[in-house]
């Protein structure tokens, strides 16, 4: 029996259809080992940056079953994804299998870029050893990211606020967003006027022309408007230029994410999850790549599709060069595996993304579109009643029309909304139908969208295609950035974290450093650099910088406050800080200064009590803490150092909590009574995963029972039921 191990159950199911009964196909469900959470145990820095891996939590059963199957196998084939991450998963599997010490057991690696019968059969004919260079490159990235994240985050906890974090790639991405945000803050709008005229030809065809000058003052705008309204119009010139529009290259990971964002409204994470499903089902090639090339067999398929659907005369073979100097391990571009299937997918997302990939791949092998771009320039002769000395700038109209569709027949969504202009010639008379004058203001620079940030990261060489989606997702989840429509807007927290890093670790979050580090990781993958020297060269000066900053770095302020906002006690200027509720003003000059104010200068008042607890006669407050809103009984003072507190349910608006509800929340945890066999107390409470009861560390979730009303008798019934042990995420293919 041959044991074939892949990452996912879905992939195992697809590949299981293509291999014979000699193969047992199973899934590792991703990585089986990882670094422990504690950095002290994770990496032996002095020993040469040696990582100490542990079986990932929840993967013990998966590893145990793979070991059992390995004992029965004559040969083991590791068929994980064809990239560094896949190579690392294969190596971890091989390391665990080696522990069995089975004599003469062959453990080999097979790789493929599409899950089709032909590709799988071909891959099985050519097993190879694990590529240690690729594996070491992945390990170097994992160790490097852990070291940077752990040390930088630790410093931020001390100097800014507990619970914040930093990362080798996420921090430069956040810095790019903050640079744009500062441009927007510094932007000063300027007023200008747009004057447009609706004109009519002798053949009663109408079009709109716009003044080529945008006057800055109302006086200038009024002068142009008055002369243009009363003047005589004619065509000064018509400029026509025939141009070509060439098709775009097939998708790479980053261009797929960008196009799916702009055309389909997909986030990068949604795009990659959908593409993963299409790949595992055998519909597209591997979706993590920065190569724009396609295999000869694919080009032949496209030629047949174009000839049949659009005509042989529209086919044109094209070879696109890969922009990246270290393209992802000789992958192909993202393309369909079978081009005769134009529409495919199990969900609406899959169907829409597949169609996008199909159109981009097919259109890339078609002839150029021909476009006629037209510019009509008009002239206004002032009315004699206004004086011949009056001058009016030219008005012009731009448009275009498609002469030959070419590849746009396939990718029709790439067509722009063309402005169709009438056919005119020089000195043709025009009739003014209407003229408008609009006052406008210059707009600040646009914030980055997810697609725009990916494009910028790629341009600057920060990160790699496979990391873009997770990088953006991380800074959103950590609330450093929020989505404002389609754009990414840094939050106050993101502002203070980025400012702190820019002030104290400018080199390590710079474009140059981050891009050069990526190149060094690529060199490890290519066998041009060694693992340990690369990490040591980075870590020694980095650690020194961290230790130096521990002594000197201070809490980053968000900027100077308005000089008019003074501390009410010492009258010193106040600084802007970041707190749990957002930005606030504070005076730190003297200990006795209370000095905390809202940004508008108003006093930050103490919370007002909802009412009084009838039993304790203490006031009841709604408070806001690091983990969300909560109820507090009494105030914190010398007599009441630890006031009783209880969380407010997530689905409840804190501003709508009544005194009755607050007292109900404070009733938790409830002591229901003793368990008969042990005499130990049974308690009911609400935790991170919802309501539960507990007895001697035996926790049971409450699915149907109300945590506030459950009785002792009902709790005993639940505790006597057998405890269910779930088995998640593990399936195997049996033949």
CATH topology of domain 191-246+370-441: Topoisomerase I; domain 3 (2.70.20)
Do residues 436 and 196 make contact, with C-beta atoms less than 8 angstroms apart? yes
Whole-angstrom distance, CA of residue 215 vs CA of residue 555: 47
**DSSP character at residue 394:** -
In this structure, the number of other CB atoms found within 10 A of the CB of residue 329 comes to 21
Whole-angstrom distance, CA of residue 258 vs CA of residue 469: 11
DSSP three-state, residue 359: helix
Whole-angstrom distance, CA of residue 279 vs CA of residue 286: 6
For position 594, what pLDDT does the model report?
Answer: 47
**DSSP character at residue 367:** P
In this structure, the number of other CB atoms found within 10 A of the CB of residue 527 comes to 13
For position 329, what pLDDT does the model report?
Answer: 43
CATH homologous superfamily for the domain 253-367: Topoisomerase I, domain 4 (1.10.290.10)
The alpha carbon of 666 is separated from its chain's Cα centroid by a whole number of angstroms, namely: 39
Whole-angstrom distance, CA of residue 594 vs CA of residue 586: 8
pTM of the model: 0.69
For position 352, what pLDDT does the model report?
Answer: 96
Whole-angstrom distance, CA of residue 453 vs CA of residue 442: 23
Q: Of all helices (H) and strands (E), which one includes residue 70? A: helix 60-72
**DSSP character at residue 41:** H
For residue 566, list its beta bridge partners: 573
Q: Of all helices (H) and strands (E), which one includes residue 378? A: strand 369-381
For position 367, what pLDDT does the model report?
Answer: 97
- Torsion 13-14-16-17 (CA) sign: positive
Give me the DSSP letters along 523-546: HHHTTSS-HHHHHHHHHHHHHHHH
Listed residue (3, 56, 2) closest to 29, CA to CA = 56
Whole-angstrom distance, CA of residue 521 vs CA of residue 162: 31
For position 31, what pLDDT does the model report?
Answer: 93
Long-range CB contacts (within 8 A, 24+) of 316-321 = 316/365, 316/366, 316/367, 316/368, 317/365, 318/247, 318/364, 318/365, 319/293, 320/249, 320/250, 320/292, 320/293, 320/364, 321/292
441 Cβ contact partners less than 8 Å away, ≥ 6 residues apart: 189, 190, 191, 192
Listed residue (544, 442, 492, 523) closest to 133, CA to CA = 523
For position 602, what pLDDT does the model report?
Answer: 53
Q: What's the pLDDT tens digit per position in 663-705? A: 998 988 889 999 888 888 999 988 767 788 999 888 898 888 8
For residue 369, list its beta bridge partners: 245
State the architecture of 140-186+446-552 in CATH terms: Orthogonal Bundle (1.10)
Listed residue (270, 251, 244, 262) closest to 359, CA to CA = 251
Class of domain 2-130: alpha beta
Task: Single out the catalytic residue among 112, 225, 286, 630.
Answer: 286
**DSSP character at residue 243:** E
Catalytic site includes residue 18:
no
Do residues 175 and 501 make contact, with C-beta atoms less than 8 angstroms apart? yes
pLDDT less than 70: residues of the chain: 39-40, 323-330, 383-390, 416-418, 552-608, 624-628, 636-638, 688, 724-735
**DSSP character at residue 446:** P
List phi, psi (to 5°) of 401. -145, 150
User: Hey, what are 253's tokens?
Assistant: 């990971």
Q: Which residues of 535-547 are buried (b: 16+ CB within 10 A; e: fewer)?
A: beebbeebeebbe
**DSSP character at residue 328:** G
DSSP three-state, residue 674: strand
Residue ranges per structural domain of the chain: 2-130, 140-186+446-552, 191-246+370-441, 253-367, 611-666, 671-720
Whole-angstrom distance, CA of residue 268 vs CA of residue 578: 30
Whole-angstrom distance, CA of residue 689 vs CA of residue 409: 53
- Count of residues for the chain? 735
Q: Do the strands 33-34 and 23-27 form a parallel or antiparallel pair, or are they unpaired?
A: unpaired
3-state secondary structure 130-187: CCHHHHHHHHHHHHHHHHHHHHHHHHHHHHCCCCCCCCCCHHHHHHHHHHHHHHHHHC
User: Hey, what are 732's tokens?
Assistant: 């195997």
């Amino acid at each position: 029996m041959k044991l074939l191990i892949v990452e996912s159950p879905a992939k195992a199911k697809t590949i299981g259809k293509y291999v014979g009964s000699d193969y047992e196909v199973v899934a590792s469900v991703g990585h089986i080992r990882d670094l422990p959470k504690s950095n002290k145990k994770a990496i032996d820095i002095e020993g040469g940056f040696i990582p100490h891996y542990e079986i990932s939590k929840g993967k013990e059963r998966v590893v145990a079953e793979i070991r059992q199957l390995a004992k029965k196998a004559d040969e083991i084939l590791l068929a994980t994804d064809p990239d560094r991450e896949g190579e690392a998963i294969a190596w971890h599997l091989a390391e665990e299998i080696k522990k069995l010490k089975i004599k003469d057991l062959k453990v080999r690696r097979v790789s493929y870029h599409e899950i089709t019968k032909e590709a799988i059969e071909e891959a099985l004919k050519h097993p190879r050893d694990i590529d240690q260079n690729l594996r070491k490159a992945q390990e170097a990235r994992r160790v490097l990211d852990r070291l940077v994240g752990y040390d930088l985050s630790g410093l931020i906890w001390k100097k800014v606020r507990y619970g914040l974090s930093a990362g080798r790639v996420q921090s430069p991405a956040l810095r790019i967003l903050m640079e744009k945000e500062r441009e927007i803050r510094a932007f000063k709008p300027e007023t200008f006027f747009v004057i447009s005229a609706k004109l009519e030809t002798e053949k009663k065809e109408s079009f709109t022309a716009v003044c080529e000058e945008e006057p800055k003052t109302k006086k200038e705008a009024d002068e142009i408007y008055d002369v243009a309204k009363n003047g005589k119009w004619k065509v000064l010139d018509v400029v026509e230029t025939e141009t070509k529009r060439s098709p775009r290259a097939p998708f790479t990971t980053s261009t797929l994410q960008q196009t799916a964002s702009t055309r389909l409204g997909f986030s990068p994470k949604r795009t990659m999850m959908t593409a993963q499903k299409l790949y595992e089902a055998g519909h597209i090639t591997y979706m993590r790549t920065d190569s724009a090339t396609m295999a000869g067999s694919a080009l032949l398929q496209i030629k047949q599709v174009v000839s049949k659907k659009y005509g042989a005369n529209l086919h044109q073979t094209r070879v696109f060069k890969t922009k990246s100097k270290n393209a992802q391990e000789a992958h192909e571009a993202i393309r369909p595996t079978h081009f005769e299937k134009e529409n495919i997918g199990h969900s609406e997302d899959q169907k829409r993304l597949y169609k996008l990939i199909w159109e981009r791949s097919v259109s890339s092998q078609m002839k150029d579109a021909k476009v006629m771009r037209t510019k009509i320039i008009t002239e206004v002769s002032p009315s004699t009643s206004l004086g011949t000395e009056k001058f009016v700038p030219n008005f012009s109209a731009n448009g275009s029309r498609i002469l030959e569709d070419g590849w746009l027949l396939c990718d029709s969504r790439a067509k722009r909304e063309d402005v169709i202009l009438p056919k005119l010639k020089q000195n043709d008379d025009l009739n003014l139908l209407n003229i408008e004058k609009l006052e406008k203001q210059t707009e600040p620079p646009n914030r980055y969208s997810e697609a725009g940030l990916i494009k910028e990261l790629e341009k600057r060489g920060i990160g790699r295609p496979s990391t873009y989606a997770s990088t953006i997702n991380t800074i959103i989840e950590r609330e450093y950035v929020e989505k404002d429509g389609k754009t990414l807007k840094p939050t106050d927290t993101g502002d203070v974290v980025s400012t702190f890093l820019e002030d104290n670790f400018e080199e390590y979050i710079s474009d140059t450093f981050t891009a050069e580090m990526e190149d060094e990781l690529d060199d490890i993958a290519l066998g041009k650099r060694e693992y340990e020297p690369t990490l040591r060269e980075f870590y020694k000066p980095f650690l020194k910088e961290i230790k130096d900053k521990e002594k000197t770095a201070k809490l980053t302020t968000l900027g100077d406050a308005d000089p008019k906002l003074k501390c009410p006690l010492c009258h010193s200027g106040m600084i802007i800080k970041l707190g749990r509720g957002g930005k606030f003003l504070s005076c730190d000059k003297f200990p006795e200064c209370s000095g905390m104010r809202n940004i508008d200068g108003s006093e930050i008042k103490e919370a007002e009590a909802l009412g009084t607890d009838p039993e304790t006669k203490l006031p009841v407050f709604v408070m806001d803490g690091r983990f969300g809103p909560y109820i507090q009984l009494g105030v914190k003072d010398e007599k009441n150092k630890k006031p009783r507190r209880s969380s407010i349910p997530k689905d409840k608006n804190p501003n709508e909590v009544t005194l009755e509800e607050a007292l109900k929340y404070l009733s938790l945890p409830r002591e229901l009574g003793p368990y008969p066999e042990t005499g130990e107390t049974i308690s009911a409470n609400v935790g991170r995963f919802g309501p539960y009861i507990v007895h001697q560390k035996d926790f049971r979730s409450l699915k149907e029972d109300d945590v506030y009303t459950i009785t002792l008798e009902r709790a005993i019934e639940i505790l006597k039921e057998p405890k269910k042990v779930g088995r998640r995420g593990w399936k195997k293919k049996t033949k």
